[in-house]
Structure 1
Amino acid sequence: MSFQVFGIPVSRGVAIGRAVLVASSRLDVAHYFINEADIEAEIARCLRARDEVARELSALKVDLPEDAPHELAALLDVHLMLLHDEALTGATKQWIVDRHYNAEWALSAQLEVLARQFDEMEDDYLRERKADLEQVVERILDALAAESGKTPRGAASVTQRDFAGEDPLLLVAADIAPADMLQFKRSVFHGFITDIGGKTSHTAIVARSLDIPAVVGTREASRLIRQDDWVIIDGDSGLVIVDPSPIVLEEYRFRQRQSELERARLARLRHTPAVTMDGERIELHANIELPTDAEAAVVAGATGVGLFRSEFLFMNRDGELPSEDEQFEAYKAAVEAMRGMPVTIRTVDIGADKPLDRMSANELRHEHVLNPAMGLRAIRWSLAEPSMFRQQLRAIYRASAFGKIRLLIPMVAHLAEVRQILESIKRVQQQLNDAGHAYTKVELGVMIEIPAAAVMLPLLLKHVDFVSIGTNDLIQYTLAIDRADEAVAHLYDPWHPAVLQLIASSIAQARAAGKSVSVCGEMAGDPAFTDLLLSMGLRSFSMHPAQIPSVKQRILRADSAKLAGALPAILASEDPQETARLALSTGGQAAVRTFH
């Protein structure tokens, strides 16, 4: 029976395919297709892992001390029984044969099917056996990982295989951490759905960078959707359709084809300079997570990297921080890939919804703070770990010898922080001089994402070369809204007069001081805000490479002088809806995106 699930649209487009349910704890399990010739070998690999776990459990049972509770032996018997149950092993083999899933993926898929069956049982005792099943599967997965020389967690590979005629796959999960999202850059999934998350959560941001349709904040999707269900993701409206009728399916396939044609048309603007109708040249930079993303930025027509989120170099590493040399090679690769265009590297922004696998001893003391978004994160964390911070600064400065690099500091709110940063830079430069490492001038900038920084911007501008407005956090902190919490997502309003006042004044003050200013938050990549930001005097936008063509098209049709004339009326509006109407009336043709 067909039904619909509603959520928050975070990445545009339409995706149609079969649902793959994955529990958050198993997102780092390898997901890849195997060849027909490898099916028997993959089944054998799965059975070897099962037999290894059986030997371990049997040995544990034999070695139980005489005074051990008899319940413990009974529990081991239950695990052994589940291990050899045909509902697990037989069905897992069927996933491998029918769908060409690798062993780890097949096990995870069958676990989701069985877990749903356990949840629907009326008997409390039987329902609680789901935990035993999960423990058994985790043991098999660990055995598979050990056999392949991988650690049980964080070491999964995700590969792409072109399966002509095979059904596309859509990921359904309770949540996907930003670090896990990086595994999908070359994955088999064409879209994803999560129960939690907000429009500008970092998971959503990475989804847009992958340019795949996504809907978050559905609350119940992972419970309602079943393994292998046919699903439509409408990333434009936030609608998920499960088991669609043939008529609905054909309608959405038509929309898919239209979207592909529109993308092809916009792609022709790649080499067209972003210049407004009245001759204002606009910089369109790209936001990237990894050095390999730089090539996509060049292909999209970016004029530089406006935000390199360096924290993604620190994730999926089992808690091991990247060395100075490893970071240097990553920054160097990004600089060289941009072919002389500037690269703005943001120092590590760890914390809130982007925790490390294993924090330092200092961070562990703050691991369970009530509100991590306002805790020890970003520059606060870097200054609390000075050796780590200086290591990153050395890597960045060393990479500057290979191209133009700008250094961006996140979450600055105090002049004392700026002074500490400048002192760290001075010390790093001396260390590099002593070691004989080459480096060039690196411009220093701060992110304006805390209202205090926007209010005290004249003081900050005396110490820095440029500023970048991070609208995602600026909106969050101005309106006291957790942007990852779908329960208050309707209150996250980029059109709020207070938000617009802070952005407009920040742009004006930076321009008046002769300092460059850009916007690197999600507003920069949304064509609904392009005219508004142009009217405020913004001349540098930074966004995901996939968003550049549509924003460029908007710029080519804009008259910045006429837009600026309407700005006072826009900022004087009391109602966000009225503000949106006024902003769009200055630009002419854009459609309003409602945030309520």
Structure 2
Amino acid sequence: MLARLVLRGAGCFAPPRRRYHRRMALQLFGIPVSRGMAIGRAVILASARLDVAHYFVDPGTEEAEIERLRAARRAVRAELDTLKADLPADAPAEMAAFIDVHKMLLDDRQMALDTITWIRQRRYNAEWALTAQLDVISRNFEEMDDTYLRERIADVEQVVERVLRALRGSAGLARSASGNGDLVLIAHDIAPADMLQFKTGVFRGFVTDVGGKTSHTAIVARSLDIPAVVGARSAGSLIRQDDLVIIDGDSGLLIVDPSPVILEDYRLRQQESQLARERLKRLKFTPARTLNAEPVELLANIEQPEDCAPALEAGAMGVGLFRTEFLFMNRGDHLPGEDEQYAAYSRVMQAMQGKPVTIRTIDIGSDKPLDAEDYRDGEFTHLNPALGLRAIRYSLSDPAMFRMQLRALLRAAVLGPLKVLIPMVAHASEIRQTLAELNKARAELDAKGVSYGPVELGAMIEVPGAALALPLFLRHFDFLSVGTNDLVQYTLAIDRADESVSNLYDPLHPAVLNLLAQIITQTRAAAAWKGRPVEVSVCGEMAGDPSMTRLLLGMGLRSFSMHPSQILAVKQEVLRADPDKLTPLVQTVLSSFEPEELQAALAALG
């Protein structure tokens, strides 16, 4: 565990303290990341970094302190190896993948060297050196624009806390924990590898102070179907050991010490929620068709080849977005070669059993460094990294690396229907260069006598300039995928990571809705002059939000790509929808600009 178990009071799972007066019910809010409701007594975990000792080691003892650090890292590596070896057969595929991510971070050469530097040059003790280096890395991650990648700092923090625990010789989350009644976990953060505790039934749900919808902890929570709320920043300080807590994973609400009336209401809602989820499972093999018999494509967003299993289990019709960034990150100078990339793409193609797979080329750059060292060298220091050298701009700045990825993708296309998705395209020159590099990659494979397959080429529409110049994209690309997360951010000029303005990040802003409707309408109309249909899908958060499904169907969207855990809930909305009736209602939404009018028009969609 990246946070050690610290119960406020005596030892682990101490008996409930006697209370002499009752405090009023307390409501807290966080980010809902996994549906369902949990009711139980709070078990409090405090961060291991809260009590880190800070002292200077004696001159001449630096190497002994470094060896102490290395011994702790070896202990953590053995712990992770044991965790992976002991994974039960029915554990989600994400578990093994995330343990591998933590092992990779633990073995990161640059992080190890930088931590040792703190010890040698400043004589910091090992714990202090680790937390100092973590602070440096955290500042770099805070500059990232992409939410998913920014939240990867949580993985680094979790690895650091494992090492801190090993340095202290203390235990993590007790796997043999037991107690009377249901328990819920309240923590600063929880490592995905330690979440098997939930599978054994000890904990019914969890709350963390930090995290977001795309954190690895959230992903595992969804795969295990555990009610969870993250990013509830004050939960750890306001909730007390053994408080009765209600976790509403649907709305992100936490209720502490609820009244008997509220408690009974939530017990009934908990039963209803469980029945609803059981009913959703019956839809797995039901074709996704609207009431007027129009087929709708429901695809999965994945991050690693291991994610294919839960995607198929949820009934995904294919992969709508495979992010390739994590093949490249935290590798230092040892970036994945063509064969390593080919192996990863091949695993996805084979796992999806002939279903279509869309793989996005590396979406990384100034705001998403391949390694934290990039920042310290100043190579990617920009005033506004979100608008800098990233995504396709980064790939085109390094043609050799880009062609290597394209060659690996072309080779994997032999194994099934493969689509290649280009991120953040905005200019005609970028389109021409991308097509030229793809042709060069084919020529290089021909010269080596290496076989490859056909690919469809698509563009991500996430920049307003691309949306407004859509005819250019429709002429050159086989399909389009709308990244609504960035489209909203760039359209409204809102940094969704900046808490001071995050309340203005609004997918239902009239400008966003009209731009999205325009993209879908123009793409569907392109079939008339291209002689064949051009597919358009949405792969951002809007696609996986069931409350948005009817709106998007009314706009004409027929392809949705989302996290596998959201597929059945969206399918249920599809099965209940009649696009013929929704279309005129959506037109009313698109013509509404005042907030009151817009809300009334959205409510009419049902």
TM normalised by structure 2 equals 0.68
* Counterpart position of 2:441: 428
2:545 and 2:570 in contact (8 A); partners too:
yes
Which residue matches 2:322?
308
Name the counterpart of 1:549: 568
What's the CA shift for 1:501? 0.7
Q: Does the alignment pair 1:385 with 2:398?
A: yes
Deviation digits for residues 280-313 of structure 1, max 9, x if unmatched?
1100011111111111111111111101111133
CA contact (8 A) 1:366 1:376 kept: no
Q: Does 1:172 align with 2:187?
A: yes
After superposition, residues 27-426 of structure 1 pair within 5 angstroms as: 57=57, 60=60, 134-135=127-128, 165=178, 170=185, 172-173=187-188, 190-195=205-210, 206=219, 210=223, 212-222=226-236, 224=238, 232-241=246-255, 252=266, 255-315=269-329, 317=331, 320-351=334-365, 354-358=368-372, 364-426=377-439
Q: Measured at CA, do residues 63 and 367 of structure 1 come closer, stay the same or move farther in structure 2, by a change above 3 Å?
A: closer
Deviation at 1:524, TM superposition (A): 0.8
Superposed CA offset, 1:299-341 (max 9, x none): 1111111011111333455674323222211111111111110
Contact 2:356-2:416 at 8 Å conserved across structures:
yes
Is the CA contact (8 Å cut-off) linking 2:173 and 2:194 kept in structure 1? no
Q: Cα distance, 1:462 vs. partner?
A: 0.8
- CA drift at 1:561: 1.1
C-alpha RMSD of the superposition: 4.1
Q: Cα distance 1:471–1:138, how it changes in 2: closer, same or farther (>3 A)?
A: closer
The residue aligned with 1:13 is 36
Cα separation, 1, equivalents of 2:419 and 2:248 = 38
**Would you say the 8 A contact 1:154–1:317 is kept in 2?**
no
What is the one-letter code of the residue matched to 2:35?
Answer: R
CA contact (8 A) 1:570 1:583 kept: yes
TM-superposed deviation, 1:369 = 3.0
Tell me if the contact between 2:297 and 2:560 (Cα under 8 Å) persists in the aligned partners. Answer: yes
Q: Is the CA contact (8 Å cut-off) linking 1:468 and 1:520 kept in structure 2?
A: yes
Q: 1 CA distance for matches of 2:334 and 2:195?
A: 22
Aligned residue for 1:394, secondary structure, equals helix
AA of the residue aligned to 1:314 = F
* Aligned equivalents of 1:563, 1:581: Cα separation in 2: 14
Report the CA distance between 1:236 and its aligned residue: 2.5
Q: List per-residue Cα deviations over 1:385-438 (Å, max 9, x = no partner).
A: 322222221221111111111001111111111111111111111111222222
* Partner deviation per Cα, 1:223-276 (whole Å, 9 max, x = no partner): 555789775543323223456678866765654444333211101000000111
Distance in 2 of aligned mates of 1:444 and 1:25: 50
Write out per-residue CA displacement over residues 63-102 of structure 1, whole angstroms, 9 at most, x where no aligned residue. Answer: 99xxxxxxxxxxx9xxx9xxxxxxxxxxxxxxxxxxxxxx
* Cα drift, residue 201 of structure 1: 6.6
Q: Would you say 1:486 and 2:499 are equivalent positions?
A: yes
- 1:439 Cα offset (Å): 1.3
Q: Does 1:525 align with 2:538?
A: no
Whole-angstrom distance in 2 between the partners of 1:569 and 1:303: 32
Give the whole-Å Cα distance in 2 for the aligned partners of 1:389 and 1:228.
54
Give me the whole-angstrom Cα distance separating, in 2, the residues matched to 1:469 and 1:423.
Answer: 24
CA contact (8 A) 2:186 2:235 kept: no
Residues 48 and 161 in structure 2, CA contact (< 8 A), matched pair in contact too: no
Structure 1 residues 251 and 491: CA distance shift in structure 2, 3 A: same
Return the match for 1:512 from 497, 510, 525.
525
Question: How big is the shift at 1:6?
Answer: 2.5
Unmatched 5+ stretches in structure 1: 27-49, 65-75, 81-130, 142-151, 589-596
Structure 2 partner of 1:126? none
Instruction: Look up the SS of the partner of 1:542 in the other structure.
Output: strand
**Secondary structure of the corresponding residue to residue 501 of structure 2:** helix
Question: Residue type matched to 1:380 in 2?
Answer: R
In structure 2, relative to structure 1, the CA distance for the partners of 1:388 and 1:226 (3 Å cut) is farther
Q: Separation in 2 of the partners of 1:433 and 1:517? A: 31
* 8 Å CA contact 1:22, 1:171 repeated in 2: no
Superposed displacement of residue 171, structure 1:
6.3
What letter corresponds to residue 369 of structure 1 in structure 2? H
Identity of aligned residues (%): 52
Partner amino acid for 1:6?
A: F
1:558 equivalent in structure 2: 577
2:444 & 2:475 partners in 1: Cα distance?
Answer: 26
Inter-partner Cα distance in structure 2 for 1:25 and 1:416: 52
Check whether the contact 1:21–1:227 (CA below 8 A) recurs between aligned residues. Answer: no
* 1:442-521 matched pairs, under 5 angstroms: 442-514=455-527, 515-521=534-540
**1:347–1:242 Cα change, 3 Å:** farther
Would the alpha carbon gap of residues 164 and 228 (structure 1) be closer, same or farther in structure 2, given more than 3 Å must change? closer
Q: Secondary structure at the match of 1:60?
A: coil
Partners of 1:512 and 1:255 in 2: CA distance:
45
The verdict on how the C-alpha distance between 1:155 and 1:339 changes in structure 2, with shifts beyond 3 A counting, is: farther
The answer to whether the 8 Å contact 2:494/2:501 transfers is yes
Q: Give deviations 1:12-57, integer Å, cap 9, x for gaps.
A: 333555343447999xxxxxxxxxxxxxxxxxxxxxxx9xx99x95
- TM-score if structure 1 supplies the norm length? 0.69
| Structure 1: distance between partners of 2:195 and 2:344 | 17
Query: CA 1:160–1:195 in 2, change beyond 3 Å: closer, same or farther?
Result: closer
Q: Distance in 2 between matches of 1:63 and 1:356?
A: 30
Tell me by how many angstroms 1:536 deviates: 1.0
The structural deviation recorded for 1:153 is: 6.1
CA change 1:247–1:322 in 2 (3 A) is: farther
CA distance in structure 2 between the partners assigned to 1:535 and 1:237 by the alignment: 25
1:468 deviates by 0.4
- Residues matched between the structures, number: 478
Letter in 1 for 2:348: A
Q: Which moved more, 1:485-494 or 1:269-278?
A: 485-494
Residues 385 and 554 of structure 1, relative CA distance in 2, 3 Å threshold: same
The residue that corresponds to 1:440 in the other structure is 453
Deviation, structure 1 residue 279: 1.1
Partner residue in 2 for 1:146:
none
